Structure 1
Amino acid sequence: MPKLTRIAPAALVALGMMAAGNAATAAITSHDDNQANPRGWSAVAGMETSAVIELARTLPLSRDARADQPWCDQSDQLAQTLSHDFAEEKVATGAKGTQLWGSALMGTWTMVLDRGDATSCIVASGIGYRDGASPRQFFTQAGLGG
Structure 2
Amino acid sequence: MSKPTPAERAAQLSEGLDYVKDLPGFERGHPHYFKDPMIDHLLEIVLQLGAELWIVKDRQMIVEHLLATEGKVTPEMIERFRPPQDLAQKLAEERRTLSRRLYQSLSDHMGPGGKAEFMGGVVGTTPNTAPDKAK
The normalised TM-score by structure 1 is 0.25
Q: Which has the higher contact order (CA 8 A, sep 6+)?
A: 1
Q: Give the structure with the higher percent helix.
A: 2
The normalised TM-score by structure 2 is 0.27
Q: Give the structure with the higher percent strand.
A: 1
